[in-house]
Chains A and B, each alone.
Chain A
Amino acid sequence: MTQTIVPDISFRAVSKRYGEVRAVDRVDLDLPKGSFVSLLGPSGCGKTTCLRMMAGFEQPSEGEVFIRGDNVTGVPAYKRPVNMVFQHYALFPHLNVADNVSYGLRQRSPKPPREAVAKAVDEALAMVRLQGYGQRRTWELSGGQQQRVALARALINRPAVLLLDEPLAALDRKLRHDMQIELQNLQRNVGITFLLVTHDQEEALSMSDRVCIMKDGRLVQTGTPRELYDEPVNGYVADFVGKSNFFAGIAGNARSGLIDVALADGMKATGRASRSTVSPEAGEAVLVSVRPEQIRLAAAETDLPNQVAFRTQAKVLNRIFLGEQTEYLVAHEKLGEFMVRSPRQGNQALAFEIGDRVAVGWPPDAALILAKD
Chain B
Amino acid sequence: MADDKIITPQKFIEELRRFQKGSVTRRHFLGVTGLGVATAVLGGAMPGLKPRKAYAALSGTVNLTTWPNYHNQENLDAFTKKTGVTINMNVFGSNEEMLAKLQAGSTGWDVFVPTNYTISTYKGLDLIEPLDLKLLPNYDVASQDQRFTSEGTIDGTVYAVPKNWGTTGFVINTKNVTQNPTSWKEFWDLTKGPLSGRVMVHDYQLTTIGNALKYFGYSFNSNDEKQLAEAEKLMLEAKPHLFAINSDYQPSMRNGDAWVSVAWTGDATQLHRDLPEIQYVLGKEGGEIWTDYFAIPKGAANKDAAYALIDWLLTPEINAKEVQAHGYPSTDARTNKLVSKEMLENPILYPAKDLLTNLEFGAAATLTNPLRAEIMARFKSA
Do A and B come into direct contact in the complex, CB within 8 Å? no
* Residues of A bordering B, CB below 8 Å: none
